[in-house]
A and B are shown apart, each in its own frame.
Chain A
Amino acid sequence: MDKNTATEKNTTIIKNATCTFCGCVCDDMELTVDLDEKCIIKSKNACVLGKAWFSEHSVDESRPVALIDGKEASLEDAIEEAAQILVNARFPIIYGLSDTTSEAQRQAVAMADYLSANIDSTSSVCHGPTGMGLQGVGEPTTTLGEVKNRADMVVYWGCNPTDCHPRLSTHFTVMPKGMYIPNGRKDRTVINVDIRSTSTTNIADLFVQLKPGSDYELLSALRSISRGRRLNPSIEEQTGVPMATIEDVAHRLMSCNYGILFFGMGLTMTRGRHYNTGALHLLAADLNEHTHFVVKPARGHGNVTGADTVMSWQTGYPFGVNFNRGYPRHEPGEFTTTDILVRGEADAACIIASDPIANFARPAIEHLKKIPVISFDPKPTPTSQIARVALTTACYGINVPGTVYRMDDIPIPLRPAFESPFPSDLDILKPLTERIRELKAH
Chain B
Amino acid sequence: MSSTLRIVNGKVYDPANDIDGQVRDVCILDGKIVDSVPEDAPTIDAHGMVVMPGGVDIHCHIAGSKVNLARKFQPEDHRYDPHPGTEYTRSGSGGVVPSTFATGYRYATMGYTTAMEAAVPPLSARHVLEELEDTPIIDKGYYVLMGNNSMLHQLLEKGRMEEFREAVAWWVKATKAYTIKLVNPGADEMWKGKKNANITALDQKIHAFDLTPRKVIKALIDVANDLGLPHPAHIHCNNLGHSGNYETTLETMRTAEGRRVHITHIQFHSYGGEVGKNPVSAARAISDFVNDNPNISADVGQVMFGKRSA
Q: How many residues of A contact B (CB 8 A)?
A: 47
Are the CB atoms of A258 and B93 closer together than 8 Å? Answer: no
| Chain A binder among B8-16, B27-35, B83-91 | B83-91
For B267, the chain A residues whose CB sits under 8 A away are: none
**Given A135-B75, A292-B196, A405–B92 Cβ distance below 8 Å?**
no
For B85, the chain A residues whose CB sits under 8 A away are: 113-114, 326-327
Are the CB atoms of A411 and B124 closer together than 8 Å? Answer: yes
Q: Is B123 an interface residue (CB 8 A)?
A: yes
With both beta carbons as reference points, the residue of chain A lying nearest to B66 in the complex is identified as: A141
Of A102, A328, A409, A413, which is within 8 A of B91 by CB?
A328
Are the CB atoms of A292 and B126 closer together than 8 Å? Answer: no
Cα separation A68 to B84 with both chains bound (whole Å): 35
Are the CB atoms of B123 and A327 closer together than 8 Å? Answer: no
Are the CB atoms of B71 and A409 closer together than 8 Å? Answer: no
Are the CB atoms of B93 and A308 closer together than 8 Å? Answer: no
**Given A106-B134, A326-B84, A329-B79, A313–B100 Cβ distance below 8 Å?**
yes
With both beta carbons as reference points, the residue of chain B lying nearest to A140 in the complex is identified as: B196
Are the CB atoms of B73 and A134 closer together than 8 Å? Answer: yes
Are the CB atoms of A113 and B87 closer together than 8 Å? Answer: no
- Chain B 175-206, CB-CB to A under 8 Å as 1, else 0, gives 00000000000000001111110000000000
Q: Is A212 an interface residue (CB 8 A)?
A: no
- Chain B 87-106, CB-CB to A under 8 Å as 1, else 0, gives 10011110101111100000
Of A110, A141, A329, which is within 8 A of B69 by CB?
A141
**Given A106-B134, A179-B150, A326-B85, A150–B192 Cβ distance below 8 Å?**
yes
- Chain A 139-170, CB-CB to B under 8 Å as 1, else 0, gives 10101011001100000000000000000000
Of B72, B90, B101, B150, which is within 8 A of A134 by CB?
B72
Are the CB atoms of A409 and B65 closer together than 8 Å? Answer: yes
| Chain B binder among A190-198, A272-280, A315-323, A362-370 | A315-323
Q: Is A441 an interface residue (CB 8 A)?
A: yes
Of B97, B126, B191, B193, which is within 8 A of A403 by CB?
B126
For B93, the chain A residues whose CB sits under 8 A away are: 315-317, 327-328
Q: Is A309 an interface residue (CB 8 A)?
A: yes
Cα separation A405 to B131 with both chains bound (whole Å): 13
Are the CB atoms of A292 and B84 closer together than 8 Å? Answer: no
Are the CB atoms of A143 and B123 closer together than 8 Å? Answer: yes
- Chain A 267-296, CB-CB to B under 8 Å as 1, else 0, gives 000000000000000000000100110000
Cα separation A44 to B77 with both chains bound (whole Å): 47
Cα separation A113 to B84 with both chains bound (whole Å): 10
Q: Is B110 an interface residue (CB 8 A)?
A: no
Q: Which of B85, B97, B191 has the most CB of A within 10 A?
A: B85
Q: Is B54 an interface residue (CB 8 A)?
A: no
Cα separation A139 to B92 with both chains bound (whole Å): 24
Q: Is A410 an interface residue (CB 8 A)?
A: yes
Are the CB atoms of B68 and A312 closer together than 8 Å? Answer: yes
Q: Is A314 an interface residue (CB 8 A)?
A: yes
For B278, the chain A residues whose CB sits under 8 A away are: none
Are the CB atoms of B73 and A313 closer together than 8 Å? Answer: no
With both beta carbons as reference points, the residue of chain A lying nearest to B75 in the complex is identified as: A330
- Chain B 59-73, CB-CB to A under 8 Å as 1, else 0, gives 000010100110111
Q: Is B74 an interface residue (CB 8 A)?
A: yes
Cα separation A316 to B74 with both chains bound (whole Å): 8
Cα separation A193 to B124 with both chains bound (whole Å): 31
With both beta carbons as reference points, the residue of chain A lying nearest to B62 in the complex is identified as: A313
With both beta carbons as reference points, the residue of chain A lying nearest to B86 in the complex is identified as: A326
**Given A313-B131, A313-B134, A403-B130, A288–B95 Cβ distance below 8 Å?**
no
Of A312, A317, A413, which is within 8 A of B126 by CB?
A413
Q: Is A372 an interface residue (CB 8 A)?
A: no
Are the CB atoms of A318 and B72 closer together than 8 Å? Answer: yes
Are the CB atoms of A292 and B192 closer together than 8 Å? Answer: yes
Are the CB atoms of A258 and B192 closer together than 8 Å? Answer: yes
With both beta carbons as reference points, the residue of chain B lying nearest to A152 in the complex is identified as: B194
Cα separation A138 to B90 with both chains bound (whole Å): 29
With both beta carbons as reference points, the residue of chain B lying nearest to A291 in the complex is identified as: B194
Q: Which of A291, A310, A328 has the most CB of B within 10 A?
A: A328
Q: Is B304 an interface residue (CB 8 A)?
A: no
For A309, the chain B residues whose CB sits under 8 A away are: 68, 127
Of A138, A146, A316, A318, which is within 8 A of B92 by CB?
A316
Cα separation A113 to B87 with both chains bound (whole Å): 10
Q: Is B78 an interface residue (CB 8 A)?
A: yes
Of B63, B90, B196, which is within 8 A of A113 by CB?
B90
Q: Is B53 an interface residue (CB 8 A)?
A: no
Are the CB atoms of B127 and A113 closer together than 8 Å? Answer: no
Are the CB atoms of B75 and A316 closer together than 8 Å? Answer: yes
Q: Is A257 an interface residue (CB 8 A)?
A: yes
For B83, the chain A residues whose CB sits under 8 A away are: 327
Residues 104-125 (chain B) with a chain A CB within 8 angstroms: 123-124
With both beta carbons as reference points, the residue of chain A lying nearest to B102 in the complex is identified as: A316
| A-B pairs with beta carbons under 8 Å apart, 23 shown | A106-B130, A257-B193, A258-B193, A288-B196, A308-B72, A309-B68, A310-B130, A312-B72, A313-B68, A313-B71, A313-B134, A314-B134, A315-B91, A316-B75, A316-B92, A317-B75, A325-B84, A327-B83, A327-B93, A328-B93, A329-B82, A330-B79, A410-B123
Residues in A lying within 8 Å of B, measured CB to CB? 102, 106, 110, 113-114, 131, 134-135, 138-139, 141, 143, 145-146, 149-150, 179-180, 257-258, 288, 291-292, 308-310, 312-318, 323, 325-330, 403, 405, 409-411, 413, 441
Apart from A113-B90, A309-B68: 17 A-B pairs, beta carbons within 8 A: A134-B73, A257-B193, A288-B196, A291-B196, A292-B193, A292-B194, A309-B127, A313-B100, A313-B131, A314-B99, A315-B93, A316-B71, A316-B93, A325-B84, A326-B91, A410-B123, A413-B126
In the complex, the 6 A-B pairs of residues with the closest C-beta atoms, listed nearest first: A316-B93, A316-B78, A411-B126, A327-B82, A327-B91, A411-B127
Residues in B lying within 8 Å of A, measured CB to CB? 63, 65, 68-69, 71-75, 78-79, 82-85, 87, 90-93, 95, 97-101, 123-124, 126-127, 130-131, 134, 150, 191-196, 208
